Chains A and B, each alone.
Chain A
């Protein structure tokens, strides 16, 4: 790693899920706020270790469902609107002795559009909350980053954290059991 570039954060590598699970709680208790865990698979319960529980004792949950709900409601009413507009308003045609518009016969259409829009809402909601697509990221500069998709676990405490201090944070990461603690720098060109 070159010594040029803006400092992004300090990294510490862990070997097992249970190591990072205990370490995460210690980082949280130490009062850090801008930090992140990198894992090869979702680790069960890591959320609660990182963010704690809310005042009622529930884990803080992802906000993706809101996007799904918005998508679903939009889809349902879009379906209703197109059927009403096309078959009852713009060009009414008698077919099958049924009313021009009714909530029953075109129900499959409302239903499918509800699901379609909700699915798009979910995917784009996930992208939005994860700030994707973002094809580059400072952590990619870390030589061991590739291993976080394989079998290593990593904690990164960012420079912008108010508690961040080169030396103190470094020794803290060593204390909680992190291996090969090191600095990530963002290349300046970007």
Chain B
């Protein structure tokens, strides 16, 4: 069955796959132009945008990978119908690895501008230290952690993360798709065992990934909680996309009738509610402990997300922060408490799209704000604006990587000979008959 039939959009002028490839070409092309300009001018913004746009899709995929493994470990009865759709999404990891490549290439071959995104890469980059601007190479703090933060080890790690993600997703797909053909229960057992071992591996990969990609943007700052934040954020994003995808498929394809809004969607929405609370718990605890301890080496990270330390005035980041508290926690939390909002697809859909938008903002808030070294300033640095060119470059990347990911998922639907539901899964009957 072709993807276009599957998604039920054939008959248009151009099919969806081609449109997605087009979007990928335009978006990634735009983003790459930004990267070239960034290397040429020493402009950090296109890189920040690229990182933001790529990790948005990456976080969704990571969230789904962790969910699939969790479902398997829990021997969950109701999930096989949903799990199959997520397994198709796991096809995106190699492509995401490809999208990460430009950043690594710049680290290696960027010459003078190798440290344009992660300033610790280049000893000649500037860093604000105690009101003055120093060279990264002379920073004691970096010297102490240079056995971890160095180009070679960093690249090995990034390759390692993608190796873990790709191989786990390969196996998650393989055990499920092969079972469709031979109906052997050993695949269920194997999937269970791989997931049990894969969860710690995935957890470590995403933790250190978050340290390397996001936390080391300000390598002075550190938080033990940071990996857990990225886990919570990823799961929320993965659940939101799963709900959207299942809605699309259940209204337009053969998934119709198998995916029950009062049962499957209700439970996905409950999980979404739970992880909304979990995300808030993690984010709040991190803020709360740093706020209460009030140690300058940690607080600056939150300070630059609230005020401009040169003037003491609130910046746009303050409003982004408030937006996250109310938009990413309070509003989804209160809406998801209502039963109707979890079972009526058009209401649930609005909420999860909302969550996804704010997840994008959450990543933006974690990645973009930064200290721009400036010896003229009172504190030795200025703050990056909320609305800068990074947003434009980021939107290019967002569209480009998104197009590529959707194309890869459609390709998986089209080319793998898997049924729309895992027909030979031992628990498929329980999952089909699952009702409220």
Contacts and interface: CB of A to CB of B under 8 A. Distances in A.
Nearest to B436: A59
A89 B292 CA distance: 22
17 contacts: A45-B435, A58-B262, A58-B339, A58-B340, A58-B343, A59-B436, A61-B339, A65-B339, A69-B337, A96-B292, A97-B294, A104-B288, A104-B291, A105-B291, A105-B292, A107-B284, A107-B288
A45 B262 CA distance: 13
Interface in A28-73: 45, 58-59, 61, 65, 69
Contacts, number: 17
Contacts of A97: 294
B218 to A, nearest CB: 23
Nearest to B339: A61
Nearest to B294: A97
B294 to A, nearest CB: 7
Interface string A150-178: 00000000000000000000000000000
A114 to B, nearest CB: 12
Interface residues of A, number: 11
Contacts of A69: 337
Interface of A: 45, 58-59, 61, 65, 69, 96-97, 104-105, 107
Contacts of B292: 96, 105
- Main secondary structure, interface of A, reads loop
State the majority secondary structure of interface residues on B. Answer: helix
The 3 closest A-B pairs by CB, nearest first: A104-B291, A61-B339, A105-B292
Nearest to B292: A105
Nearest to B284: A107
Which of B294, B340, B435, B436 is packed against the most chain A CB atoms within 10 Å? B436
A8 to B, nearest CB: 33
B342 to A, nearest CB: 11
Nearest to A97: B294
Q: Which of A45, A58, A69, A105 has the most CB of B within 10 A?
A: A58
A104 B284 CA distance: 9
A169 to B, nearest CB: 31
B147 to A, nearest CB: 37
Interface in B288-338: 288, 291-292, 294, 337
B187 to A, nearest CB: 30
Nearest to A47: B436
Nearest to A72: B337
A185 to B, nearest CB: 39
Contacts of A96: 292
A58 B347 CA distance: 15
A82 to B, nearest CB: 20
Contacts of B294: 97
Nearest to A48: B436
B265 to A, nearest CB: 13
A79 B291 CA distance: 21
Nearest to A104: B291
B14 to A, nearest CB: 38
A76 to B, nearest CB: 12
Interface string B348-392: 000000000000000000000000000000000000000000000
A97 B292 CA distance: 10
B262 to A, nearest CB: 7
Nearest to B343: A58
Interface in B68-126: none
Nearest to A98: B292
Nearest to B344: A56
B95 to A, nearest CB: 41
A95 to B, nearest CB: 12
Contacts of B339: 58, 61, 65
A64 B288 CA distance: 33
A105 B435 CA distance: 43
A59 B291 CA distance: 46
A104 B294 CA distance: 13
A171 to B, nearest CB: 34
Given A58-B262, A58-B343, 7 more contacts: A45-B435, A58-B340, A69-B337, A97-B294, A105-B291, A107-B284, A107-B288
A45 B284 CA distance: 40
